[in-house]
Amino acid sequence: MTLTGDLLIGGGRVPATAGTMKAFNPATGEFIEPEFAFGGPAEVDRGLRLADEAYDSYSHTGLEERARFLELIADKLEAAKDELAARTSVETGLPAAQFAGEAVRSAGVFRKFAAVVRQGRFLQAAIDPAQPDRRPTPRLDHRLQKVALGPVAIFGASNFPISYSVAGGDTASALAAGCPVVLKAHNAHPGASEIEGRVIQEAVAESGLHAGVFSLVRGSGNEIGEALVDHPLVKAVTFTGSEAGGMALYRRAQQRPEPIPVFTEMTSVNPTFVLPAALAARAAEIGTGLVQRGMYNVGQACLKPAVLLAVEGPGYAELREAAITEVQKWEARPMLTPGIHDAYTRNARHHQDNGAVRLAEGAAPEGSEGGAYGQALLLEVTGEQLLAEPALREEVFGPALLLVKVADTEQLLETARTFRGQLSATLHADTADRATVEQLLPVLERRTGRIVFNAFSIPQEVSYASTHGGPFPATSDSRFTSVGMGAIERFLRPVTYQNFPDDLLPQPLREANPLNLWRLVDGELTRQ
């Protein structure tokens, strides 16, 4: 497909109204053709009016029709995977093979949501039949299903240009819920965004859906994102990125005349706790695993295990040595954008200003100094330092890892209590660590959306039991996940139909259960 650089609004391609940009190759420092259009509030308005027009028909598509649409996106995404991977590689400086895999996984996510749609459990159909003879008052027939919220604004993320961007899980789950999508493409990968966006746009057209089901806009600064969040027709927002960016959008949306749900996934250091027996038994394995997991995607991953805490004692020196050896093997690689690289350098320096000792760094390849190359970095502090300086518990986005040498298990528990909300926490523990594990688990449960036992979690699973969420500031609403089948719940609300004649009820609620759904009838799950 030849990139045109246009915005994709409804079924059409819309040229620039507010200037243009070119993509940047962080590996070479060069700009790449073609020019990509910037739009403004007028294009946002146009996309949202179309999305609002599309809502009535799209939110009422049959489950089978909607599932097939999602599968068509999956097929087209897979068909475009080599082209998409090649372009994404140029726009990120990361290997094409990584993105071919990411495209296949994203296609898989659309297929999984197609299955979710077909199962229809997301509708949470519930029926409380009439009880005309109930005293003192009869009960009317009540039937509940979930319906789509309305048009959703999705901000593409920079760090995973497919799976957290245009054809990512946010789009898949919003479309699965029956919500039209207006997507703000991230300027770090405009070509990848266009390929993904056109895949979805084509699938909309071939499925015979209203063209307003999907639009893609792009802008030069904050204005376009603000126009999107402010627009009265937007009914929900998703964002993955920095705490500052996420909170600005969140607070803005809450000050609208009509506040709307905003799910932002922001920051997490995913602390790893290594308990004494595990440390004594597997120090080198853990130290190596930490670095291998931590360097994935040049450390630009929400689940990077950024902080590892272990009690000083048998194994600690060995863990440190293993981590040092592994970090030294890592060659610097281009980071996603020059801005991210600058922030990385600055934040890594701040950690050292705050007392973190540099244990090791990765190699800097010939000629990488002037570019946006992120150099691996292993830092160390004591538990006491971590307790005293909150900034050391904050994220350094990029290939930096922090070892924390903790005095004893008492101090380990104390440090655990100081962390803000996290996407995940990891425990490495053996049988002899049981008593400490039992003390630590409730502390971690309060602060995280996921607890991992004796593993470095790779990659993010997209399944029914996934949680990619957690207490603030990991996300802005811990009640939801942005990854996994539960992500659809962000975009649904209940509606009750009371005393309806059967033939006016939505299909999922009709007496004969024509869709063969699991439904809650008088509080009992049944397919009858």
Residue 306 CB, nearest approach to a second copy (Å): 18
Interface with a second copy, residue 149, by CB under 8 A: yes
Among 212-220, 275-283, 328-336, 436-444, which window interacts with a second copy (CB under 8 A)?
436-444
The answer to whether 179 is a known catalytic residue is: no
Closest by alpha carbon to 71, among 175, 214, 190?
A: 175
Bridge partner residues of 127 (DSSP) = 143, 521
Q: Which of 20, 207, 382, 478 binds a second copy (CB under 8 A)?
A: 478
**What is the Cα–Cα distance from 274 to 381, expressed in whole angstroms?**
15
Query: What residues between 29 and 58 interact with a second copy by CB under 8 A?
Result: 55-56
Nearer to a second copy, 167 or 440 (CB): 440
Per the CB < 8 A criterion, the answer to whether 312 and 474 are in contact is no
The reply on whether position 329 binds a second copy by CB under 8 A is: no
373 vs 491, beta carbon nearer a second copy:
491
Binding residues for a second copy, rule CB under 8 A, total 81
Q: Establish if 142 lies at the interface with a second copy (CB under 8 A).
A: yes
Nearest approach, Cβ of residue 459 and a second copy (Å): 6
Is residue 502 involved in binding a second copy (CB under 8 A)?
A: no
- Give the nearest distance from C-beta 453 to a second copy in angstroms: 5
The residue within the footprint of a second copy, chosen from 358, 458, 511, 516 (CB under 8 A), is: 458
- Residue numbers 112-131 binding a second copy by CB under 8 A: 115, 119, 121, 126-128
Using CB under 8 A as the binding rule, whether residue 140 contacts a second copy is answered as: yes
- Residue 146: CB minimum distance to a second copy, A: 9
Q: Which is nearer to a second copy, 201 or 297 (CB)?
A: 297
- Taking the complex as a whole, the smallest distance from the CB of residue 365 to a second copy amounts, in Å, to 27
The answer to the question of residue 136 lying near a second copy (CB under 8 A) is yes
Examine residue 446 and tell whether it contacts a second copy (CB under 8 A): yes
Question: Which of 517, 509, 502, 507 has its CA nearest to residue 127?
Answer: 509
Residues of this chain, 480-499, that bind a second copy according to CB under 8 A: 480-481, 485-486, 489-490, 492-499
Site string for a second copy, 89-108 (x = CB under 8 A): ------------x-------
Which of 257, 287, 288, 256 has its CA nearest to residue 274? 287
Q: Does 518 bind a second copy (CB under 8 A)?
A: yes
Angle at 144 between CA 140 and CA 148, to 5 degrees: 145
User: CB of residue 472 vs a second copy: minimum separation in angstroms?
Assistant: 5
- Among 33, 455, 511, 516, indicate the residue that binds a second copy (CB under 8 A): 455
Tokens at residue 93, please?
A: 């400086």
**Which candidate in 265, 361, 394, 395 is catalytic?**
265
Query: Concatenated DSSP letters for 487-514?
Result: GGGGGEEEEEEES--GGGS-GGGSTT-T
- Contact pick of 28, 222, 255, 516 for a second copy (by CB under 8 A): 255
Contact 217, 9 (CB under 8 A): yes
Query: What binding mask, one character per residue, do residues 174-213 give for a second copy by CB under 8 A, x or -?
Result: ----------------------------------------
CB of 443 to a second copy, least distance (A): 9
Candidates 71, 91, 302, 361; catalytic one:
302
| DSSP strand pairing (357-361 vs 377-382) | antiparallel
Q: How far is the CA of 17 from the CAs of 146, 212, 228, 258, 367, in angstroms?
A: 39, 20, 16, 29, 38
For residue 474, give the 3-state DSSP assignment: coil
Given a contact cutoff of 8 angstroms between Cβ atoms, the answer to whether 73 and 203 are in contact is yes
Closest to 71 measured CA to CA, from 206, 237, 254: 206
- Measure the N-to-C terminal CA separation of the chain; round to a whole number of Å: 49
- At closest approach, how far in Å is the CB of 389 from a second copy? 18
How would you classify residue 11: left for phi > 0, otherwise alpha for psi between -120 and 50, otherwise beta?
alpha
Q: Does 450 bind a second copy (CB under 8 A)?
A: yes
Footprint (CB under 8 A) of a second copy, residues 213-252: 250-251
Contact between residue 509 and residue 143 where contact means Cβ atoms under 8 Å apart:
yes
User: Please, are residues 413 and 438 in contact by the beta-carbon 8 Å criterion?
Assistant: no
- Apex 46 CA angle, 41 and 51, nearest 5: 120
CB 489 within 8 A of CB 480: yes
Active site residues: 265, 302
